[in-house]
Amino acid sequence: MTPDAIEALALRALTQAGATPHQAAPVARSVRRAEEDGIGPVGLGYLPTYLAHLRSGKVRGDARPVVERPRPGVVQVDAAHGFAHPAFDTGLAALVAAARANGVAAMAIARSYSIGVLGHPVEDIAGRGLVALAMTNSPPNMAVWGGRRKQFGTNPIAFAIPRDPAPIVVDMATTVVTKVALAARAAAEEPIPPDWALDAEGRPTTDARAAMGGAMLPFGGAKGANVALLVELFAAVLTGAALSREVQPYAVAEGPPPGVGQFFLACDPAAFAPGFADRLATLAAAITEEAGVRLPGDRRLAARAAAAAQGIAVPPDLLARIEALA
């Protein structure tokens, strides 16, 4: 399928499931972008979950985000239990304007939903010439270091640096792997390394299905757990959103809206030391001059080029399922 066709399919399906154009269009665009980046499980692969949550009321298809400016460098967005993507789009102009006026600005989104690929919104900010940092919490999947119970979500953190011809983008979960990757191993009945997760009894396991009933582990041991805590503090505690431990799994169609949060920080390089672009170019050249080394995001850019030239392979059974739901 072409990227345009994928976006059109997603838009039609979301609209049929009850989303208004204001809610559906940004989500359909995010599905397209995930497919272009070669991460289909959070593209068309996640679309059936979006549709189920629209129909059950777990996400409000008619939500209208509300933007407030309590201070010159602060933007607050109430997502109103709609999708995170339109909430971000609604507050983006205010965040960019505040960052250019003040040098640094922050945007807090509350009563929100999964934002999908956190690297995309920071890329959008960096595309406007600003350095961007973002965090979001999510339903509980991770045990804190030394613990057994799920306390945090996979709690991604992402950042993007403006650069010609495309921003440098880093987007990573604070668990050893993403929940999507763990679920894929479980579905395929494939084993996992023992440092990925615990079973329901709190024991390290190589059984992916047992891990799905237990808790995932942070990357880097205690260090990764501390980064997950940082994300929880900024994305939930600071924004006023629900804590990860209070949120039901996205895999469950019924239940109340998740009400998670997202936090974005934007910095204008022009407000700091001159010569930002030149110093960044020097750093990038030093990193990539070593054979076999690439900058973060280079694979994503290659996937986009391939998608534009060759189209995107979509599993027929997934396409049939989405067509039936739409």
**Digits of tens for pLDDT over the chain (326 positions)?**
999 999 999 999 999 999 999 999 999 999 999 999 999 999 999 999 999 999 999 999 999 999 999 999 999 999 999 999 999 999 999 999 999 999 999 999 999 999 999 999 999 999 999 999 999 999 999 998 888 889 999 999 999 999 998 999 999 999 998 888 888 899 899 999 999 999 998 999 999 999 999 999 999 999 999 999 999 999 999 999 999 999 999 988 999 999 999 999 999 999 999 999 999 999 999 999 999 999 998 899 999 999 999 999 999 999 999 988 88
pTM above the 0.85 mark?
yes
Identify the pLDDT of residue 145: 85
Q: Which pLDDT score is estimated for 180?
A: 82
Predicted pLDDT at 146 = 86
Residue ranges and CATH numbers for the domains of the chain are 64-175+218-273 (3.30.1370.60)
Residue whose pair of structure tokens reads 């208004």 in the numeric block: 20
> What are residue 172's phi and psi, to 5 degrees?
-145, 145
Are 321 and 48 within 8 A, CB to CB?
yes
Distances (CA, A) of 240 to 39, 83, 140, 232, 262: 30, 17, 17, 11, 10
- CA-to-CA distance for 312 and 259, rounded, in angstroms? 33
Sheet holding 260-267, edge to edge: 66-71, 74-78, 104-112, 260-267, 131-136, 157-161, 168-172
Rounded CA separation 299/291 (Å): 16
Relative orientation angle of helices 298-310 and 21-36, to the nearest 10 degrees? 100
Terminal Cα-to-Cα distance of the chain (whole angstroms): 17
Cα 45 to Cα 325: distance, rounded to the nearest angstrom: 13
Q: Quick one: CA dihedral 82, 84, 86, 89, positive or negative?
A: positive
188: Cβ–Cβ under 8 A, 6 or more apart, which residues?
A: none
- Other CB atoms within 10 A of residue 184 CB: 15
Contact predicate 287/118, CB 8 Å: no
The predicted structure's pLDDT at residue 178: 85
For 81, the token pair is 């239990």
